[in-house]
Amino acid sequence: MIKSEKEYNAILERIEELLSNPDNIENSEAKGFVELNILSDLVADYEEQHYPILPPTLPEAIRLRMHERGLSQKTLADFLGVSSSRISEYLNGKSEPTLKVAREISRKLDIEASIVLGV
């Protein structure tokens, strides 16, 4: 278990050293392979506790889907059956979608319901 940021940084440096040798990545019999896996698990545990990755907000998730699918606010509004100004309000966090619209956002944009509903 990593107990401090200093230990964390030292282990990251050691992982970098181990990664510089391809044998440590590809050969499960290599001594460095075992060490690399153990240290990587320790770092993963430390990062989960100290640097958690939070789920995106609804505006972030909508923006990502718009970017991925090349949608403008107008196109998205038509796609969801709401006004462009309503989309703008969702993107700026000024308003939350109704349950009906939330369902459409989740279904049509493939965004998890928990993100759409903020739970």
Domain ranges of the chain: 5-50, 58-117
Query: What does residue 45 show for φ and ψ, rounded to 5 degrees?
Result: -65, -45
Total residue count of the chain as it appears in this document: 119
What is the C-alpha to C-alpha distance for residues 74 and 47, in angstroms, rounded to an integer? 40
Q: Residue 46's pLDDT is what?
A: 97
Q: Residue 30's pLDDT is what?
A: 87
Block mean pLDDT (10 aa), the chain, length 119: 96 96 90 94 96 93 97 96 96 93 96 90
Tell me which DSSP letter residue 23 carries.
H
The answer regarding whether domain 58-117 maps to CATH 3.40.50.720 reads no
What single letter denotes the amino acid at residue 28?
S
Q: Please enumerate, as own/partner, the contacts of 78-82 that have beta carbons within 8 Å and a separation of 24 or more.
A: 79/108, 80/104, 80/105, 80/108
Written as one string, the DSSP assignment of 44-84 is: HHHHHHHS--PPPPHHHHHHHHHHHHT--HHHHHHHHTS-H
Using alpha carbons, list the distances in angstroms from residue 111 to 82, 86, 102: 17, 18, 10
pTM given for the model: 0.65
Q: Residue 119's pLDDT is what?
A: 78
